[in-house]
Structure 1
Amino acid sequence: MAASPTDSDVWPALRVADWEPTRDTLHMWTQIVGKARLAHTPLVNHWWQVPLYVSARGLTTSAIPYRNRVFDIEFDFCDHRLTIRDSNGSARGFALEPMPVAKFYTLITGALDELGIETHITATPNEVVTAIPFAEDTAHASYDAHAANLFWRQLIQVDRGIHEFRSRFLGKVSPVHFFWGSFDMACTRFSGRTAPKHPGGAPHCGDWVMVEGYSHELSSCGWWPGGGEEGAFYSYAYPEPDGFADYPVAPDQAFYSTEHRQFLLPYEAVRTADAPDATLQRFLQTAYEAAADNADWDRAALECDPRRWRSSR
């Protein structure tokens, strides 16, 4: 019988500095794939139709409608392939290996054409300071297969933990999803009230994108593979209520960043904790309470016990 994995295996270590070139290349590749999904999917509030999702092999678009069929695109970080499949049983793909963004863009657009999936995207990246058109980007060309696999294994744990947290909310709440614009996992709870118009300001991204994303009062949490030695969990509120930054958020390693206007918890603080899962839940819950208590959310009406029917099974 195989031994049970240890926490150090389950929550893998990956220093940002050790894979940053691969991370930045993957960021551009996921933007191309995400924009293909955006091109074919009807708007769902707050752009919930555009992210990617953690899969048993990597990251997937899930099913995308196209005329009278559907297709999906998956980054397989086990066999290191990009695969496009459609509901007619056809598939195309290519190896994930070191290559410039320009070549990746050519390969994926060619594969979509071969499948008869006519796709038009705005072929420049969003939410990055330097937005090189995809067809011209030879600067991002790294792919460390081992690092990509470790990153996916991190995402599995993040996805699992945030899904547990999501299950305790009865009100309007987003899926747990991976936003390719900001390259982070996220899940957002809503109070049910509208919010002031968001000022925008994200680089190479229309202000109207943020206006849609932040149209209602929210508390959002997630994880970004940056902002710290091994990345960071985060939690913020929009609009940020008075008293939010001073709320006692756990564990002790959590802190409020005045630069980012959000609570941060280093990934390694969870990874090295005696009980990583419980540590993450304490952070997510107390940071949510910082928003909900200070903004006077109707918590009794919005929260629930995900195990409420367990005794009836």
Structure 2
Amino acid sequence: MGDHVQEWPELSYGDLAPTVAFLNRLVQVAGKYTLDEPFEVGWGNVVLDVTPRGLRTPTLRQPGVTFSVHYRLLDEDVLIEADSGTRTLSLTHGSVAAFHAAFCEAAGELGIRPPASQLVCEIPDAAPSFDQDVEHRHWDGAAAELVWRGFNLVADGLETWQAPYLGHRPRVGVMWGGFDLSSTRYRAQPTLPRPNKPAFMQNGELEAYVSVGFSFGSAQAPAVGMYAYIWPQPQGLEGRSWGVEGAGWNPEAGLVLLPWSSLREQDNPKAAVLSFGEAVYQAAVDLAGWPADLIGPHCDGWHMSRTAPAHVRA
């Protein structure tokens, strides 16, 4: 192991779980605005960008106002930025209900209507709505910084993995429902959603896709690390190599898992993220008939700006 073990810090589910649970609820407040946007296959339009300071919604538009919401984890505040002005809310100790009320008041001062829904989603045993979540929660700035750092480091690798894909690929970002970093490649092949799943999951299963992501774990699966899966799930995933030592297929979860502890021990963790993603896509090619020719070359932008395409050189 080299200097990267300092850049890629130790991340423990037990240490981060209270902050992750708090943040998961808070980001859903502004995240709800993205549901007003035109639906993009797989909910690709709803993700929060990983910024230099935290997590931010895409630019949002309502009649008469254009705005975005930036959860600045490193500054311990939330910035609502609109063409009508700005408002800043402190991220501090308190309840989700209190934050929701303060957020709606601040947004209203800028001419932004409240989010259309107060329902808390994808969090087992959560209060049904923001205004009912009155539990007093403790804000831990150091833990919030670690959460941002984990998202930021993995996003760097996943953006590199996504770059050469020639098919539909939403931007890499945090799904505010499950609070996981998502990177997904879609194939123009309609699929039949599973009828026993919630409506939002059925919408996400309208087309075949390969998903590689990062999660801080849950009470049911308390492990920080990367995950991946192929929809529809093909046969033959057992016993494959997944590009990185420590990665393996978990049939109970239906996921390929790469623990954070294994990832940060690699000589080059960012390259390991890329290798993991490429191994998952190769499994889709080998087992689910995905086209290999949807992957272009990996090269940096400066190279491409100075190198004429092959048909021009010819």
Quick check: TM above 0.5?
A: yes
Matched, 1:46 2:36: no
Residues of 2 paired with 1:9 and 1:241: CA distance? 38
Whichever residue aligns with residue 5 of structure 2, its letter is S
Tell me how large the CA RMSD over aligned residues is: 1.9
Residues of 2 paired with 1:312 and 1:23: CA distance? 41
Matched, 1:226 2:217: yes
Secondary structure of the residue that 1:49 maps to in structure 2? helix
Matched, 1:163 2:159: yes
Residues of 2 paired with 1:248 and 1:238: CA distance? 19
Offset of 1:6 from its aligned partner?
A: 3.3
Offset of 1:230 from its aligned partner?
A: 5.5
Residue in 1 that maps onto 2:312: none
Residue in 2 that maps onto 1:95: 90
User: Which residue, 31, 34, 38 being the options, matches 1:34?
Assistant: 31
Identify the range of structure 1 (287-296 vs 179-188) with the bigger mean alpha-carbon deviation: 287-296
Q: Is the 8 A contact 1:200 1:210 kept in 2?
A: no
Residue in 2 that maps onto 1:127: 122
Identity %: 28
Scaled by the length of structure 1, the TM-score of the pair is 0.90
Matched, 1:304 2:301: no
Q: 1:202-224 CA deviation, whole Å, 9 max, x = no partner?
A: xxxxx221121111111111000
Q: What pairs with 1:1-313 in structure 2 (closer than 5 Å)? A: 6-39=3-36, 41-88=37-84, 90-132=85-127, 133-139=129-135, 141-201=137-197, 207-226=198-217, 231-300=224-293, 302-307=294-299, 310=303, 313=306
Q: 1:234-259 CA deviation, whole Å, 9 max, x = no partner?
A: 11011111112332212231111122
Misfit runs of 4+, over 6 Å: none
Q: 1:95-142 CA deviation, whole Å, 9 max, x = no partner?
A: 111211111111111111111111242212111222312112123612
Q: How many residues align?
A: 301
Unaligned runs of 5+ in 1: 202-206
Scaled by the length of structure 2, the TM-score of the pair is 0.90
Secondary structure of the residue that 2:102 maps to in structure 1? helix
Q: Is the 8 A contact 2:29 2:115 kept in 1?
A: no
Unaligned runs of 5+ in 2: 307-314
Residues of 1 paired with 2:35 and 2:147: CA distance? 24
Residue in 2 that maps onto 1:204: none
Whichever residue aligns with residue 71 of structure 1, its letter is F
Whichever residue aligns with residue 21 of structure 1, its letter is P
Offset of 1:43 from its aligned partner?
A: 2.2
